Chains A and B, each alone.
Chain A
Amino acid sequence: MRTRYVERNLDGAQSAGQSFSQTRRWWDTAGIAFGVLVFFVLTLAFTASQFGWLPYDPDQADLDLILAPLGSPGHILGTDFFGRDLATRLIVGVNAYFLPALGAVAVSLTIGATLGLAAGFRGGPVGLATHYTCTLVEAIPRLLLVLFAVTVYQPDIYHIMLIIGLTGFPGLATRLRLRIRHLREQSFFESALASGVSLQTILFKHLLWHHCRPLFLIHASQAMGEAILFETSLSYLGFGVQEPTPSWGNMVQTGSDYLLQGNFWPSTLPAAAIAITLIAFYLFADAFERRAQDRQNP
């Protein structure tokens, strides 16, 4: 377990066979790059499905080619229980998340930012009220809340995503509150106000934009991952995106009917897609968080 520390050659010339001890920084960069890459691929898939640049029609069934295995001619990723091309459906499945999940994220960002800002800035009763709201929202398990909403309102997936967005803010609000309170304790406001900056500029430009921007990005990527997992769970319970519209969640669910018989591709592929996306989001959030911390206290 020897670690090697090598100084940069001051001439800029790198000698051969150098090894660097630098791991964390590299990992962080890799994490951020991976997250960006996955997001780019998702956007590409979204665009492709919007403009119809697809190998097959996602609903086109080929009843002679049910459950074709991986690498079948014509269907690189095989077909599902209905003879539909899995690759196509994986691409189109992104649609199910893109707008609803982004909507959910936007809702939770807005609420979280407002509450966190108010609580961090004002403290006292406002802080208590925010703490109360956050605890209240977190006290009811979200999946149960969604099931309850399903029972009484019979909402569609967009409304369910709205519920998920509406209940997703406590994490952000709490972190924002702590961060702002920390800044406030460091006489951040006083020094800014003393230098003649208006309160609005301080709140929105300095505080939210300069100091808390990483928090938003971290929360957004986590919330996005959560929304995807939620849709998947709901699909399993029968309340998610409904066939024939593909979503990764309902693909895993319908595919899992064949998993126990050994046909695991139809469910494993979308499950892997979900896992890769989520890990990308998590890694991105983690790396970004560390970056932000480093910047704050180098």
Chain B
Amino acid sequence: MKGSPHLEIENLQAYFYASADRTFVRAVTGVDLCVMRGETLALIGESGSGKSVTALSALGLLKGDPGIVAGRICLHTDEGPRELLAGLDRCVTIERTPERPLSISKNGPAWDRQQKRNFVGVRGKEIAAIFQNPRTAFNPYLMVGEQIVENIRLHTPTKLYQEAYDQALYWLERVGLEPAAERFDNFPYGLSGGMCQRAMLAMTLAAEPALLIADEPTTGLDATLRTAILELLAELQRNLGFTLLMISHDLHVVRRLAQRVAVFYNGVIVERGPSLAMLSANDIPKHPYTQALLDAQPVRVSPKPRRLIALQGDVPSPIGEAAGCRFAPRCTHAKGINAKRCEHESPPFFQVSSDHQLACWLYTDSKEVSVRGVDA
């Protein structure tokens, strides 16, 4: 099974309508992504670049109007593939003609019902998630243990309370929360952030999910705890073999955990490839943005002292349409001869090695693989 696709996302587009200005916020404009079974894929990028929107779309939890407007998400389960966005085209119509502005019409309630059908048996079992702030992700009115028991009884054959209780204790111990019986009775407010995230892992993994989405699981934690949690996550993944889709700002973390990386910038993926290759400072071709990310990263052991280079300029507003490369205004290479092309034409993906693609006009000599996105 290993090596086969687990989650395929094709041309995902999600917009939000800013009613005040009557414009669309283009959260994600044509994302293509494939998560392989058993691997760890990291999504990196700045805030607002569309990582979380992509992850939430896979969970069917994206809120807002109109939300997902196009795309395909396919989840490969043991029973076969499942289209998680099935029926989207029936609920959404996109009209765009050169003389009229973009108009999207969406049957929200129908889509909600459709989503519900699409996700029967998926959430928690096939795809589970842990969130950035574990303390607000736990229900404050229920004991931590009760919530684990609930998850166990929902998703595993264990239905008896007592059995589920024992399993919950086992999982609590497994993630290092001891004494488990006491932790079971804790309310979320009674646990520290690190303990909460452990409990969260216990709860999520107790359901034995096939795919785990971890949305910046360590951002809210201290540096020391961060490592411990990541170690735990890595260890659990090794032993349980679930697929991990991780969102992170932290390139160190990504390098440590992820096999592959996808770099988001302003609603599109600009580069995807193996993490070790992409995130090391060697001479492998990189997207200028990835390079900029690396340059802004302090390096623990560096051969020679190096100045951190902050990226100049701001992320272009996701509001309104953008022609050309999204990164062009900030790109150091988009000067001179390239400038015109960078500013007016959207770059397609270019294959630089077997599993490494990037979208930049710098690499026009490489093989073009795909052109996607309504904006193209």
A contacting B, Cβ–Cβ less than 8 Å: yes
B305 contacts partner chain A, Cβ-Cβ < 8 Å: no
B2 in contact (CB, < 8 A): no
A132 within 8 A of partner (CB): no
Whether A7 contacts B108 in the complex (CB less than 8 A), given A15-B100, A15-B101, A21-B17, comes out as no
User: Is B107 within 8 A of A6, CB to CB?
Assistant: no
The tally of residues in B whose CB lies under 8 Å from a CB in A reads 23
Task: Name the residue of chain A whose CB is nearest to the CB of B102.
Answer: A7
Q: Are A3 and B101 in contact (CB under 8 A)?
A: no
Whether A2 contacts B19 by the Cβ 8 Å rule is: no
* Contact yes or no, B320 A5, CB < 8 A: no
A25 at the interface (CB under 8 A from B): yes
Interface-facing stretch out of B21-29, B46-54, B80-88, B283-291: B21-29
Q: Mark B1-41, 1 if CB is under 8 A from A, else 0.
A: 00000000000000101011111100000000000000000
> Is the CB–CB distance between B100 and A5 below 8 Å?
no
B65 contacts across to A, CB distance below 8 A = 3, 5, 21
B103 close to A (CB within 8 Å): yes
- B109 at interface, CB cutoff 8 A: yes
Q: Does A144 contact B (CB under 8 A)?
A: no
Residues of B contacting A: mostly: mixed
B106 is an interface residue with CB less than 8 A from chain A: yes
Query: Quick check: is B240 within 8 A (CB to CB) of the other chain?
Result: no
Interface residue tally on A, bucketed by range: 10 to 19
Q: Quick one: given A10-B101, A21-B17, are A5 and B108 in contact (CB under 8 Å)?
A: no
A3 touches B106 (CB 8 A): yes
Enumerate chain A residues within 8 angstroms of B106, measured Cβ to Cβ. 2-3, 5
Q: Is A22 part of the contact surface with B, judged by Cβ < 8 Å?
A: yes
What is the CA–CA distance of A3 and B320 in the complex, to the nearest angstrom?
20
Taking the closest CB of chain A, its distance from the CB of B47, in whole angstroms, is 16
24 of the cross-chain contacts (CB-CB < 8 Å) are A1-B107, A2-B107, A3-B66, A3-B105, A3-B107, A3-B108, A4-B103, A5-B24, A5-B66, A5-B105, A5-B106, A6-B102, A6-B103, A7-B102, A8-B21, A8-B22, A9-B100, A9-B101, A10-B101, A20-B19, A21-B19, A21-B65, A24-B19, A25-B19
On A, residues with C-beta under 8 Å from B are 1-10, 15, 20-22, 24-25
Residues of B within 8 A of A (CB): 15, 17, 19-24, 65-66, 99-110, 320
The 8 A-B pairs of least Cβ separation, nearest first, read A8-B22, A7-B101, A4-B105, A5-B17, A7-B102, A9-B101, A6-B103, A2-B107
